Chains A and B, each alone.
Chain A
Amino acid sequence: MRIAVQSAPFDAAAEIAGFGSGTNAGALVTFTGLVRDDSGRMQALELEHYPGMTERAIAKIAEEAMARWSLADCLVIHRFGRLTVGEPIMMVATAARHRAAAFEAAEFLMDYLKSRAPFWKKEIGPDGTSWVAAKASDEDALTRW
Protein backbone atom coordinates (compact mmCIF):
# COMPACT_ATOMS: atom_id res chain seq x y z
CA MET A 1 0.00 0.00 0.00
CA ARG A 2 1.33 3.43 -0.92
CA ILE A 3 -0.16 6.85 -0.24
CA ALA A 4 1.33 10.03 -1.72
CA VAL A 5 0.04 13.55 -1.11
CA GLN A 6 2.11 15.90 -3.24
CA SER A 7 2.11 19.14 -5.19
CA ALA A 8 4.36 17.71 -7.92
CA PRO A 9 2.85 16.22 -11.09
CA PHE A 10 2.93 12.44 -11.48
CA ASP A 11 3.18 10.08 -14.42
CA ALA A 12 0.38 7.52 -14.08
CA ALA A 13 2.10 5.05 -16.43
CA ALA A 14 5.36 5.22 -14.49
CA GLU A 15 3.52 4.88 -11.16
CA ILE A 16 1.82 1.70 -12.31
CA ALA A 17 5.00 -0.03 -13.54
CA GLY A 18 5.54 -3.05 -11.32
CA PHE A 19 2.43 -2.33 -9.27
CA GLY A 20 0.96 -5.56 -7.88
CA SER A 21 3.79 -7.68 -9.34
CA GLY A 22 4.80 -10.70 -7.27
CA THR A 23 1.47 -10.73 -5.44
CA ASN A 24 -0.35 -13.33 -7.57
CA ALA A 25 -2.98 -10.70 -8.39
CA GLY A 26 -5.11 -11.46 -11.45
CA ALA A 27 -6.64 -8.02 -11.84
CA LEU A 28 -5.29 -4.52 -11.80
CA VAL A 29 -7.55 -1.45 -11.99
CA THR A 30 -6.36 2.13 -12.27
CA PHE A 31 -8.27 5.39 -12.27
CA THR A 32 -6.77 8.79 -13.02
CA GLY A 33 -8.74 11.97 -12.34
CA LEU A 34 -8.01 15.04 -14.50
CA VAL A 35 -8.77 18.69 -13.79
CA ARG A 36 -12.03 19.42 -15.60
CA ASP A 37 -13.33 22.83 -16.63
CA ASP A 38 -17.13 22.87 -16.30
CA SER A 39 -17.59 26.60 -16.85
CA GLY A 40 -15.33 26.86 -19.89
CA ARG A 41 -13.64 29.84 -18.22
CA MET A 42 -11.43 28.20 -15.65
CA GLN A 43 -7.78 29.25 -15.66
CA ALA A 44 -6.59 27.01 -12.84
CA LEU A 45 -7.73 24.89 -9.93
CA GLU A 46 -6.24 25.48 -6.51
CA LEU A 47 -6.38 22.59 -4.04
CA GLU A 48 -5.99 23.28 -0.35
CA HIS A 49 -5.52 20.39 2.07
CA TYR A 50 -4.99 19.65 5.76
CA PRO A 51 -1.40 18.38 6.07
CA GLY A 52 -1.28 15.45 8.45
CA MET A 53 -4.98 14.72 8.45
CA THR A 54 -4.94 14.19 4.67
CA GLU A 55 -2.41 11.37 4.86
CA ARG A 56 -4.14 9.80 7.87
CA ALA A 57 -7.61 9.97 6.31
CA ILE A 58 -6.42 8.45 3.01
CA ALA A 59 -4.47 5.70 4.82
CA LYS A 60 -7.58 4.80 6.80
CA ILE A 61 -9.71 4.60 3.63
CA ALA A 62 -7.04 2.55 1.82
CA GLU A 63 -6.61 0.16 4.77
CA GLU A 64 -10.35 -0.42 4.80
CA ALA A 65 -10.30 -1.20 1.06
CA MET A 66 -7.30 -3.54 1.48
CA ALA A 67 -9.12 -5.52 4.19
CA ARG A 68 -12.62 -5.51 2.69
CA TRP A 69 -11.60 -6.66 -0.82
CA SER A 70 -8.50 -8.63 0.25
CA LEU A 71 -6.43 -6.48 -2.08
CA ALA A 72 -2.94 -7.56 -3.04
CA ASP A 73 -1.92 -3.91 -3.26
CA CYS A 74 -3.34 -0.40 -3.32
CA LEU A 75 -1.98 2.97 -4.45
CA VAL A 76 -3.41 6.46 -3.91
CA ILE A 77 -1.76 9.65 -5.21
CA HIS A 78 -3.49 12.98 -4.63
CA ARG A 79 -2.10 16.38 -5.55
CA PHE A 80 -2.57 19.76 -3.93
CA GLY A 81 -1.62 23.29 -4.96
CA ARG A 82 -2.29 25.01 -8.29
CA LEU A 83 -3.25 22.80 -11.25
CA THR A 84 -4.22 23.63 -14.81
CA VAL A 85 -7.07 22.15 -16.86
CA GLY A 86 -6.35 18.64 -18.13
CA GLU A 87 -3.61 17.91 -15.60
CA PRO A 88 -3.82 14.68 -13.59
CA ILE A 89 -5.10 15.56 -10.10
CA MET A 90 -5.19 12.13 -8.49
CA MET A 91 -5.01 8.42 -9.16
CA VAL A 92 -5.92 5.18 -7.48
CA ALA A 93 -4.78 1.69 -8.36
CA THR A 94 -5.95 -1.60 -6.92
CA ALA A 95 -4.63 -5.13 -7.41
CA ALA A 96 -6.75 -8.15 -6.49
CA ARG A 97 -7.22 -11.83 -7.33
CA HIS A 98 -10.31 -11.07 -9.43
CA ARG A 99 -11.57 -8.03 -11.34
CA ALA A 100 -14.82 -7.52 -9.39
CA ALA A 101 -12.85 -6.83 -6.21
CA ALA A 102 -10.35 -4.58 -8.00
CA PHE A 103 -13.10 -2.49 -9.66
CA GLU A 104 -15.26 -2.26 -6.52
CA ALA A 105 -12.33 -1.30 -4.30
CA ALA A 106 -11.30 1.44 -6.77
CA GLU A 107 -14.86 2.83 -6.78
CA PHE A 108 -14.98 2.70 -2.99
CA LEU A 109 -11.67 4.58 -2.78
CA MET A 110 -12.92 7.25 -5.20
CA ASP A 111 -16.23 7.71 -3.37
CA TYR A 112 -14.49 8.12 -0.03
CA LEU A 113 -11.71 10.38 -1.33
CA LYS A 114 -14.36 12.76 -2.70
CA SER A 115 -15.96 13.54 0.64
CA ARG A 116 -13.71 12.15 3.41
CA ALA A 117 -10.23 13.28 2.39
CA PRO A 118 -9.63 16.87 3.56
CA PHE A 119 -9.15 18.65 0.24
CA TRP A 120 -10.94 21.80 -0.89
CA LYS A 121 -11.06 22.90 -4.53
CA LYS A 122 -11.11 26.51 -5.61
CA GLU A 123 -11.70 27.51 -9.22
CA ILE A 124 -9.67 30.42 -10.54
CA GLY A 125 -11.23 32.28 -13.45
CA PRO A 126 -10.91 35.62 -15.23
CA ASP A 127 -13.41 37.29 -12.88
CA GLY A 128 -12.08 35.92 -9.62
CA THR A 129 -12.16 32.75 -7.58
CA SER A 130 -14.86 30.50 -6.19
CA TRP A 131 -14.83 27.51 -3.85
CA VAL A 132 -16.27 24.35 -5.32
CA ALA A 133 -19.32 23.28 -3.30
CA ALA A 134 -19.62 19.66 -2.17
CA LYS A 135 -22.39 17.78 -3.98
CA ALA A 136 -25.13 15.98 -2.07
CA SER A 137 -24.73 13.14 -4.59
CA ASP A 138 -21.12 12.65 -3.43
CA GLU A 139 -22.28 12.21 0.16
CA ASP A 140 -25.13 9.91 -0.99
CA ALA A 141 -22.61 7.77 -2.89
CA LEU A 142 -21.15 6.61 0.44
CA THR A 143 -24.40 4.93 1.48
CA ARG A 144 -23.91 2.15 -1.08
CA TRP A 145 -20.86 0.97 0.84
Chain B
Amino acid sequence: MIDVVYFAWVRERIGLPRERVETRAATVRDLVTELSAREERYAAAFADISALRVALDQELSEFDAPLAGVREVAFFPPMTGG
Protein backbone atom coordinates (compact mmCIF):
# COMPACT_ATOMS: atom_id res chain seq x y z
CA MET B 1 0.00 0.00 0.00
CA ILE B 2 1.16 3.46 -0.86
CA ASP B 3 -0.30 6.91 -0.10
CA VAL B 4 -0.87 8.96 -3.24
CA VAL B 5 -1.51 12.69 -2.86
CA TYR B 6 -2.55 15.25 -5.44
CA PHE B 7 -2.27 19.03 -5.50
CA ALA B 8 -3.65 21.99 -7.46
CA TRP B 9 -5.33 21.12 -10.80
CA VAL B 10 -4.21 17.49 -10.53
CA ARG B 11 -6.28 17.23 -7.31
CA GLU B 12 -9.22 18.99 -8.95
CA ARG B 13 -9.12 16.82 -12.07
CA ILE B 14 -8.92 13.57 -10.12
CA GLY B 15 -11.44 14.83 -7.59
CA LEU B 16 -9.70 13.89 -4.36
CA PRO B 17 -6.68 15.07 -2.38
CA ARG B 18 -5.33 11.72 -1.19
CA GLU B 19 -5.90 7.99 -1.43
CA ARG B 20 -4.30 4.70 -0.47
CA VAL B 21 -3.38 2.60 -3.47
CA GLU B 22 -2.65 -1.11 -3.64
CA THR B 23 0.09 -1.39 -6.23
CA ARG B 24 3.05 -3.43 -7.36
CA ALA B 25 4.31 -0.69 -9.66
CA ALA B 26 8.12 -0.70 -9.81
CA THR B 27 8.50 2.94 -10.79
CA VAL B 28 6.51 6.17 -10.69
CA ARG B 29 5.87 5.81 -14.42
CA ASP B 30 4.37 2.32 -13.83
CA LEU B 31 2.11 3.76 -11.11
CA VAL B 32 0.95 6.50 -13.50
CA THR B 33 0.10 3.83 -16.11
CA GLU B 34 -1.89 1.85 -13.51
CA LEU B 35 -3.79 4.91 -12.30
CA SER B 36 -4.48 6.17 -15.84
CA ALA B 37 -6.09 2.82 -16.72
CA ARG B 38 -8.56 3.16 -13.83
CA GLU B 39 -10.88 5.91 -15.01
CA GLU B 40 -11.05 8.80 -17.45
CA ARG B 41 -10.42 11.43 -14.74
CA TYR B 42 -7.04 9.81 -13.96
CA ALA B 43 -6.20 9.49 -17.66
CA ALA B 44 -7.04 13.19 -18.08
CA ALA B 45 -4.86 14.24 -15.14
CA PHE B 46 -1.89 12.15 -16.32
CA ALA B 47 -2.32 12.79 -20.07
CA ASP B 48 0.90 14.82 -20.28
CA ILE B 49 3.39 13.93 -17.56
CA SER B 50 5.84 16.51 -18.87
CA ALA B 51 3.40 19.03 -17.33
CA LEU B 52 3.64 17.28 -13.95
CA ARG B 53 6.14 16.96 -11.11
CA VAL B 54 6.45 14.12 -8.63
CA ALA B 55 7.69 13.94 -5.05
CA LEU B 56 8.58 10.72 -3.23
CA ASP B 57 8.28 10.93 0.57
CA GLN B 58 8.20 14.74 0.21
CA GLU B 59 11.39 15.01 -1.88
CA LEU B 60 11.22 16.13 -5.50
CA SER B 61 11.94 13.12 -7.73
CA GLU B 62 11.67 11.76 -11.29
CA PHE B 63 9.13 9.60 -13.11
CA ASP B 64 11.77 6.89 -13.65
CA ALA B 65 12.47 6.62 -9.91
CA PRO B 66 11.81 3.25 -8.20
CA LEU B 67 8.96 3.02 -5.69
CA ALA B 68 10.55 0.38 -3.43
CA GLY B 69 10.30 1.54 0.19
CA VAL B 70 8.37 4.71 -0.70
CA ARG B 71 5.39 5.53 1.54
CA GLU B 72 4.00 8.67 -0.10
CA VAL B 73 3.90 9.71 -3.74
CA ALA B 74 2.72 13.22 -4.64
CA PHE B 75 1.70 14.47 -8.08
CA PHE B 76 1.40 18.17 -8.85
CA PRO B 77 1.96 20.82 -11.53
CA PRO B 78 5.17 22.90 -11.59
CA MET B 79 5.35 24.95 -8.40
CA THR B 80 4.47 28.64 -8.28
CA GLY B 81 5.79 29.92 -4.96
CA GLY B 82 7.41 33.22 -4.10
- A residues contacting B by CB (< 8 A) are 33, 48, 50, 52-53, 56-57, 78, 90, 110, 113-122, 131-134, 138-139
| Contact residues in A for B60 (Cβ distance below 8 Å) | 57, 116
Across the A-B interface, how many residue pairs have beta carbons closer than 8 Å? 70
Alpha-carbon gap, A130 to B82, bound state (A): 18
Query: Is B8's beta carbon under 8 Å from chain A?
Result: yes
- Shortest A71–chain B CB gap in Å is 19
Tell me if B78 and A118 are in contact (CB < 8 A): no
26 contacts between A and B (CB under 8 A): A33-B82, A48-B7, A48-B8, A53-B74, A57-B58, A57-B60, A78-B81, A110-B82, A113-B81, A114-B79, A115-B78, A115-B80, A118-B7, A118-B74, A118-B79, A119-B82, A120-B80, A121-B80, A122-B8, A131-B9, A131-B77, A131-B80, A133-B77, A133-B80, A134-B78, A138-B82
Q: A56-B58, A57-B60, A118-B76 are in contact. List 12 more A-B contacts (CB 8 A).
A: A50-B74, A50-B76, A115-B78, A118-B79, A118-B81, A119-B80, A120-B76, A131-B8, A131-B9, A131-B80, A132-B80, A133-B78
Query: Is B43's beta carbon under 8 Å from chain A?
Result: no
Interface size on B, residues (CB 8 A): 16
Tell me if A50 and B55 are in contact (CB < 8 A): yes
| Contact residues in B for A118 (Cβ distance below 8 Å) | 7, 55, 74, 76, 79, 81
Which of A52, A53, A110, A120 is close to B77, meaning CB atoms less than 8 Å apart? A120
Could you tell me the dominant secondary structure of chain A's interface residues? mixed
- Given known A-B contacts A50-B7, A50-B74, A131-B9, A119 and B55 have beta carbons under 8 A apart: no
Which interface residue of B5, B8, B74, B82 has the most chain A CB atoms within 10 A? B82
Sorted from nearest, which 9 A-B pairs have the closest CB atoms?
A134-B78, A119-B81, A120-B8, A53-B58, A114-B82, A117-B81, A113-B82, A121-B80, A113-B81
